[in-house]
A = this chain, B = another copy of it.
Amino acid sequence: MSHTVFEISTHGQGLYELTDEVARWVAGEGQLEAALTLIVQHTSASLLIQENADPDVQVDLKAYFARLAPPTSDPSMSYLTHTYEGPDDMPAHIKASMLPITITIPIISGRMALGTWQGLYLFEHRDRAHLRRVVALLR
């Protein structure tokens, strides 16, 4: 049983891959069969397991969710009240509710049991640069 913290520097909305960084830590811990739980300690970013092959998928995911929950400056979002942290803040809370904040991945034979095309991402929902903390527990 062990834990660590990953820190990810983000610079605007989009997906930031952390598959390799997490895989290295898991390999170093030497547990062959375990559960890896990750949690992002923020309410305006998510964790996502998604396609790591074609980067267009990541561009499209960002575009889709930006339209599903547009900035509060958009007329369609005028009914929202939490606006004083900026027009990108409340949509960020919405996206951080719809997309995972915590995920658990089985570790089999010492490796994350991800499919061939699956990568692990932090999905940043704010416009400005942030340092995001992801706590990992392996047990």
- Chain A: residues with CB nearer than 8 A to chain B? 1, 3, 33-35, 37, 39-43, 48-51, 54, 56-57, 59-61, 63-65, 67-69, 79-82, 90, 93-94, 96-108, 113-118, 133, 135-137, 139
Q: Are A102 and B104 in contact (CB under 8 A)?
A: yes
Q: Are A108 and B81 in contact (CB under 8 A)?
A: no
Question: With A1-B33, A35-B35, A50-B93 as given contacts, are A99 and B98 in contact (CB-CB < 8 Å)?
Answer: yes
Question: Contacting A105 at CB < 8 Å: which of B57, B102, B114, B139?
Answer: B102
* Closest chain B residue, CB of each to CB of A90: B60
Q: Are A105 and B39 in contact (CB under 8 A)?
A: yes
Q: Are B106 and A133 in contact (CB under 8 A)?
A: no
